[in-house]
């Protein structure tokens, strides 16, 4: 599966109208690459330690491409944007999700639910505990 397919499947795993913050998207895709890349024909991204933990600019490039295609809607929240699939994006993302093996579907669903259940501080703290190598450039204590 290519990068766009992985991003669409991840967003679709959140369900209809699920909003994702930039940090949540980055962390879900990091977990897929770091924990189970073999399930997703990855790794797909090159994450490095950054201000808020694991980061790859390419994630935003993919989302921007999906937005231009009308598959992702960006919600302007002032300082940052959240992302939600459009109806067409959900249709395609759900199909990409269904293309995954049952094991990959289960893993992705658990990761998306877990990441979305935490607030920003909790998510960063959990990432830094498990992946201290991704904390080196952190700007949040």
**Domains held by the chain: number:** 1
Rounded mean pLDDT, 19-31 = 97
Bin 93: left if φ > 0, else alpha if -120 < ψ < 50, else beta.
Answer: alpha
Answer yes or no: is 81 within a domain. yes
pLDDT in tens, 97-133: 999 999 999 999 999 999 999 999 999 999 999 999 9
Range of the domain at 8: 3-130
139 in any annotated domain: no
- Is residue 32 a part of any domain in this protein? yes
- Is residue 137 included in any domain, yes or no? no
34 lies in some domain = yes
Task: Specify the pTM.
Answer: 0.94
Q: Which CATH number characterizes residue 17's domain?
A: 1.10.10.10
pLDDT tens per residue across span 31-47: 999 999 999 999 999 99
**DSSP-based three-state secondary structure for 82:** strand
């Amino acid at each position: 599966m290519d990068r766009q397919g992985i991003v669409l499947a991840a967003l679709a795993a959140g369900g209809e109208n699920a909003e994702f913050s930039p940090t949540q998207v980055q962390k879900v895709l990091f977990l897929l690459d770091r924990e189970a890349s073999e399930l997703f024909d990855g790794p797909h991204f090159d994450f490095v330690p950054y201000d808020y933990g694991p980061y790859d600019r390419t994630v935003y490039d993919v989302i921007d491409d999906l937005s231009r295609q009308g598959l992702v809607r960006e919600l302007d929240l002032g300082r940052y944007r959240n992302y939600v699939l459009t109806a067409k994006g959900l249709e395609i993302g759900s199909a990409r999700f269904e293309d995954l093996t049952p094991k990959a579907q289960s893993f992705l669903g658990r990761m998306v639910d877990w990441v979305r259940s935490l607030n920003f501080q909790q998510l960063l703290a959990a990432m830094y505990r498990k992946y201290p190598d991704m904390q080196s450039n952190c700007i949040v204590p």
